């Protein structure tokens, strides 16, 4: 009798298990435009031709790195906005990173227009400005980090609503109290989460608004090792990498005023950015996935033709670039904390063996599954909560000889796990199980690595109510 009962129980479990799994990954098609891909919160500051300053919040923005080590910050702005007109004339802008203390003031700047000649955003909010050292644009000194950017290219894509400006980061400023150890090396020692950055989730979903960051959740290349102990993938660059041991290296502590705004040149790698898992098919139909954190939303288009960008530093060694060029398509899946170890594994290995001869099934090693996208010839990962199906539209490079590319992707379709949808069908950044979308920072200090959304600070328009009343 016990044996019969056990067989019946096993049969029930076999029937129930697939249904539970199907419910877990049930996806819903989402209407475009979506405007939900989060990023660090930015305040873009400019001068008009008379020297009058302006600043506004921008959510269509991202950062890319060139093979020569330059950092390019790009923004998409409606051509009718004062900010776009100012950039056109001055050829410059600054990017001012928001901490929680200046979110209300910055939100006010983003919700009122400088087209009102009598409006003084900075008098109303009390934000203080200083002239940029290297470009014709102001920096907001209340913000903990400022990038000075010189425009190197501007373009309007077909049917696009926003003009895209590509700005090379000429120099940047960091408040000294955010630097750990040697204050001459901020890229390596930047304490961005505790005091220096917030996230902004655009759109109109229940979860849109400003957040503090939460983390770090772990270092890239280390998280997956804690969960997966018998990985057969081969990668001399990733699997055999040993982090430098800095325990016995003493760092000189400079005597600098904690309120000082220190200027540096070079490439600032520390800005937290959303993690994106990009999928494309090989010529044999194998599903390859790679992990990126350089990119973001670029522009909205007429008829819902939204654009996304991803930055690839070296196309010569990028299997993903080769496959996207061959197929003209890819998917961009947004991972959550629930699959942090799996995504870290995908990003720690190449899709090819070191000799370039054999395909490596990273997805199988991570225990994830793939499906074919409905509107483009590319695979997506079933378990990840949000997927954008994309076509390759264009690419931007520093020069014809450059090995780096910023791929411009047209979003054809969007789907999401229903647990990430609010009551109106809008995508939320946090699932009903509490898992949240991922960010990554290149900082090599103890606080570098993966992050997620932390404390909710408020919605755009609500956090700045006290200034609206003035």
Q: What is the pLDDT of residues 280-324, one digit of tens each?
A: 999 999 999 999 988 888 887 766 678 889 988 888 889 999 999
375: exposed, middle or buried (C-beta count within 10 Å: 0-12, 13-18, 19+)?
Answer: middle
**Cα separations in angstroms, 449 against 103, 177, 346:** 24, 20, 15
The pLDDT of residue 94 is 98
Domain architecture of the chain: domains with CATH: 29-242+254-468 (2.30.110.10)
Tokens linked to 42: 């930015």
7 has a pLDDT exceeding 50? no
Please give the average per-residue pLDDT across 443-468, as a whole number: 85
The pLDDT of residue 239 is 39
The pLDDT of residue 47 is 97
Spatial distance between the Cα atoms of 362 and 368, rounded to a whole number of angstroms: 9
The pLDDT of residue 160 is 85
Q: For residues 11 and 81, which has the higher predicted lDDT (pLDDT)? A: 81
272: exposed, middle or buried (C-beta count within 10 Å: 0-12, 13-18, 19+)?
Answer: buried
The pLDDT of residue 256 is 54
**Cα separations in angstroms, 468 against 16, 46, 105, 119, 448:** 55, 22, 10, 12, 37
Q: 10 Å Cβ neighbour count for 185?
A: 17
Q: If pLDDT is split at 50, 70 and 90, which confidence band does 446 have?
A: low
Q: Which residue stretches of 318-455 are H helix?
A: 319-327, 340-348, 362-366
**Cα separations in angstroms, 77 against 86, 166, 226, 289:** 11, 11, 43, 31
260 has a pLDDT exceeding 60? yes
Please give the average per-residue pLDDT across 418-445, as a whole number: 87
Please give the average per-residue pLDDT across 189-202, as a whole number: 70
Q: If pLDDT is split at 50, 70 and 90, which confidence band does 215 have?
A: confident
The pLDDT of residue 295 is 84
Q: What is the pLDDT of residues 365-383, one digit of tens each?
A: 999 999 999 999 999 999 9
Q: If pLDDT is split at 50, 70 and 90, which confidence band does 171 have?
A: very high
Spatial distance between the Cα atoms of 129 and 102, rounded to a whole number of angstroms: 13
The pLDDT of residue 304 is 65
The pLDDT of residue 243 is 43
CA nearest to 306, candidates 234, 198, 202: 202
Q: What is the pLDDT of residues 43-55, one digit of tens each?
A: 999 999 999 999 9
Please give the average per-residue pLDDT across 79-87, as a whole number: 94
Spatial distance between the Cα atoms of 173 and 175, rounded to a whole number of angstroms: 7
The pLDDT of residue 182 is 61
The pTM of the full predicted model, rounded to 2 decimals, is 0.86
Q: For residues 149 and 6, which has the higher predicted lDDT (pLDDT)? A: 149
The pLDDT of residue 86 is 97
The pLDDT of residue 259 is 66
Q: 10 Å Cβ neighbour count for 397?
A: 15
188 has a pLDDT exceeding 70? no
Q: For residues 296 and 8, which has the higher predicted lDDT (pLDDT)? A: 296
Q: What is the pLDDT of residues 379-431, one digit of tens each?
A: 999 999 999 999 999 988 866 666 888 899 999 999 999 999 988 888 999 99
16 has a pLDDT exceeding 50? no
469 has a pLDDT exceeding 90? no
* Mean pLDDT (the chain, rounded): 83
The pLDDT of residue 251 is 36
Spatial distance between the Cα atoms of 59 and 10, rounded to a whole number of angstroms: 51
Q: For residues 366 and 447, which has the higher predicted lDDT (pLDDT)? A: 366
**Cα separations in angstroms, 364 against 61, 87, 368, 404:** 33, 47, 6, 29
252 has a pLDDT exceeding 70? no
The pLDDT of residue 159 is 82
Q: For residues 15 and 317, which has the higher predicted lDDT (pLDDT)? A: 317
Spatial distance between the Cα atoms of 78 and 302, rounded to a whole number of angstroms: 13
The pLDDT of residue 81 is 92
Spatial distance between the Cα atoms of 262 and 256, rounded to a whole number of angstroms: 9
Residue that the structure tokens 């900082």 belong to? 443
Q: If pLDDT is split at 50, 70 and 90, which confidence band does 102 have?
A: very high
141 has a pLDDT exceeding 70? yes
Could you give the percent of the chain with pLDDT greater than 70? Answer: 81
């Amino acid at each position: 009798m016990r044996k019969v009962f056990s067989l019946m129980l096993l049969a029930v479990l076999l029937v129930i298990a697939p249904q539970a799994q199907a419910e877990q990954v049930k996806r819903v098609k989402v209407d475009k435009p979506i405007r939900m891909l989060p990023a660090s919160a930015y305040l873009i500051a400019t001068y008009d031709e008379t020297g009058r300053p302006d600043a506004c919040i921008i959510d269509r923005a991202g950062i890319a790195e060139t093979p020569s080590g330059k950092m390019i910050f790009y923004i998409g702005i409606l051509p009718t906005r004062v900010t776009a007109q100012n950039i056109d004339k001055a050829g410059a802008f600054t990017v001012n990173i928001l901490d929680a203390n200046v979110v209300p003031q910055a939100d006010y700047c983003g919700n009122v227009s400088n087209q009102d000649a009598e409006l003084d955003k900075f008098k109303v909010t009390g934000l203080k400005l200083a002239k940029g050292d290297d470009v014709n644009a102001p920096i907001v000194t209340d913000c903990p980090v400022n990038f000075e950017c010189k425009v190197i290219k501007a373009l309007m894509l077909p049917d696009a609503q926003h003009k895209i400006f590509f700005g090379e980061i000429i120099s940047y400023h960091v408040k000294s109290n955010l630097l750990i150890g040697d204050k001459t090396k901020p890229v390596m020692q930047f304490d961005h989460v505790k005091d220096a950055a917030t996230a902004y989730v655009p759109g109109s979903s229940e979860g849109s608004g400003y957040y503090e960051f939460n983390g770090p959740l772990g270092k890239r290349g280390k998280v997956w090792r804690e969960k997966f102990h018998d990985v057969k993938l081969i990668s001399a660059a990733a699997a055999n990498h040993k982090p430098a041991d800095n325990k016995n290296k003493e760092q000189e502590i400079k005597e600098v005023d904690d309120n000082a705004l220190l200027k540096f040149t070079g490439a600032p790698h520390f800005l937290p950015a959303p993690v994106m898992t990009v999928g494309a098919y090989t010529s044999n139909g194998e599903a390859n996935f790679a992990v990126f954190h350089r990119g973001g939303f670029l522009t909205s288009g007429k008829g819902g033709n939204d654009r996304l960008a991803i930055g690839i530093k070296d196309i010569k060694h990028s299997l993903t670039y080769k496959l996207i060029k061959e197929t003209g398509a890819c998917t961009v899946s947004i991972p959550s904390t629930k699959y942090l170890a799996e995504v870290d594994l995908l990003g720690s290995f190449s899709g090819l063996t070191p000799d370039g001869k054999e395909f490596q099934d990273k997805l199988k090693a991570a225990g994830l599954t793939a499906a074919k996208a409905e509107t483009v010839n590319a695979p997506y990962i079933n378990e990840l909560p949000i997927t954008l199906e994309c076509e390759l539209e264009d690419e931007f490079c520093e020069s014809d000889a450059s090995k780096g590319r910023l791929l411009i992707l047209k979003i054809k379709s969007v789907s999401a796990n229903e647990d990430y949808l609010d009551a109106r069908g809008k995508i939320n950044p946090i699932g009903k199980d509490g898992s949240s979308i991922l960010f990554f920072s290149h900082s090599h200090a103890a606080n570098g690595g993966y992050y997620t959304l932390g404390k909710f600070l408020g919605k755009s328009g609500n956090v700045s109510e006290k200034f609206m009343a003035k």
